Chain A
């Protein structure tokens, strides 16, 4: 029974085709970057962020179909939880493999396989442990783990990521020990893991938006400029993912201003300007991640029977995309300003000011066309992974490329920033404008959405 259950749970999350695509993609990534000298710090940062997100959002991978059909079957709860634990192990393993595949150039294969497997068990265990914690306890657990992970950058021998920063044997020993401890703790927690995500009570909107008396364009702009939806898979394998949050734009602007000031002071006071290449790549990566999260969330909660029902799809999309592009520009403005104060990061500033709004339009449009997902039941994953997610990821590469080239070209090519602007504007023209004017594209989006069960 357990074997069948494990097979069923795994196959409902990872189809055979998907596993094959993963294998091919990993081989491709490795063969393309196999000889590259990678920065071990990058994997440590990535893995630390993954662990932070896992523990903060902690929970088990629960599909809607699990809740509706699997959990009502007469199957022992321990079997169910164990199967879900294994599925998370596979999911985290895949993610860490993607992030760390190029580390194979730095550490021997045996250590690589051992460390990555242990890290995947650790990730699944921490998710289980975190699901039983609430409030400040979860925050304390997450931040302690993040600090422990990041301490490997300073050569701390007990860090679980030490093996990826030169401490091959002590790092592996520490990781093994920590994994055993956490696995034991997770085992004790498993009987209490919450498999059902209940809906919280009535949530009252504190600052309601007044749409009265606005015309259609202003109403859509007002909605976009009043709050942003940030969403997407909040945890690997979508455990509690697809949550979309309503974040007030003014609050988001205040938050981004505060972060920008801290970022600027850190760069200036710690004389990090000599690491300008790293600063640029991290800034661009952060901006790109925000754009991806926003673009994924844009149509997740969009009821097309209303949006496309009151006006033509292309007209609504045009208003909506312009509104969202304006709000993202507003939120990122403080970063553009502080980056302008540092000559080394003028390129990043140009990207924020000129490219980001159009990049959002491009990313949201291709997501809507290739892999639109509608959230019908909050906190449950509407569908398992599909290869379409990879097509969306591949189609989003041009944005990343334009952003990186825009950010680096003033420094690398030694050209004046002003000379880069026309090229960025041309990139905008190709990235964003077609989606703002094409009627047939949005008719196609509507057809795909209807086929995929949107209402």
Chain B
């Protein structure tokens, strides 16, 4: 069964075509990264999948539901790029508030677990607006996964994190049994967190396959970043 379905989606902002007849499916529990240069349409795709933006045409489904529906929102976790939590709420209030909005039965347990796992315990009473960018990102990740979503959309999830925290987040995400779509332009993140790649350029898919297939496209000793760059240039 497909957990994410994008069929013939197009989106324009004014005269600019951001997505051009985009189509792809992601089977449940598979982990995909969405790679592409700046302006490829990755973030717009993520926003449409999260139900925050509407496509001009085409169809999008999250586990068979419309992304704007309450059913889809219940199973979906979304972390935008440069995510901001509720700045006037403390770290703990943020987590408890979202747990309550989602009406989680294990909300209290999840709040305590995430405070510890992401090293946020010492900041639990600090207003989010006063946190460093790295701690803000940790809080945002916690808010995106507090309900153990079945489908997880992450836009540049490891931005601003120091190396030990990156490792902790990677380990936390790997423990999850979710379907992943991770938008990034950093190949090493795709390699660590996912098994499959969708390459995008100018709002279209230019290649799709597993990471091992992608590696095979390179010449001997050619770094995978170089392979991806070559493919993107070819598409441009």
Contact = CB atoms under 8 A, between A and B. Distances in A.
Nearest to A310: B101
Given A301-B88, A312-B68, A214 B100 contact: yes
A305 B78 contact: yes
Contacts of B87: 244, 301, 375, 378
Given A305-B80, A375-B87, A205 B101 contact: no
Contact of B50 (A227, A305, A378): A305
Interface stretch (B119-127, B158-166, B188-196): B119-127
Interface stretch (B51-59, B167-175, B204-212): B51-59
Interface stretch (B2-10, B91-99, B214-222): B91-99
Given A203-B129, A309-B73, A447-B54, 17 more contacts: A205-B93, A205-B127, A208-B90, A211-B96, A218-B100, A244-B87, A246-B88, A301-B87, A303-B85, A303-B86, A305-B50, A305-B79, A310-B73, A312-B69, A312-B70, A375-B87, A455-B81
B235 interface: no
9 contacts: A203-B127, A203-B129, A204-B127, A211-B97, A214-B100, A223-B97, A309-B50, A310-B98, A376-B82
B107 interface: yes
Size range of the chain B interface in the assembly: 35 or more
Contact of B90 (A205, A302, A455): A205
B150 to A, nearest CB: 15
A246 B90 CA distance: 11
B102 A310 contact: yes
B25 interface: no
Contacts of A308: 51-52
Contacts of A204: 90, 125-127
A274 interface: no
Contact of B51 (A203, A205, A219, A309): A309
A304 B97 contact: no
Contacts of B107: 212-213
A304 B52 contact: yes
Contacts of A374: 84
A303 B88 CA distance: 11
Nearest to A376: B84
Most buried by A among B52, B93, B107: B52
Size range of the chain A interface in the assembly: 35 or more
A209 B88 CA distance: 12
A204 B76 CA distance: 31
A205 B70 contact: no
Contacts of B50: 305, 309
Contacts of A451: 13
A201 B130 contact: yes
Interface in B42-83: 47, 50-54, 68-70, 73, 76, 78-83
B130 A203 contact: yes
A214 B103 CA distance: 7
Contacts of A345: none
B145 interface: no
Interface string B106-143: 01100100000000000101110111000000000001
B76 to A, nearest CB: 8
A227 B88 contact: yes
Contact of B88 (A219, A244, A447): A244
A269 interface: no
B80 to A, nearest CB: 4
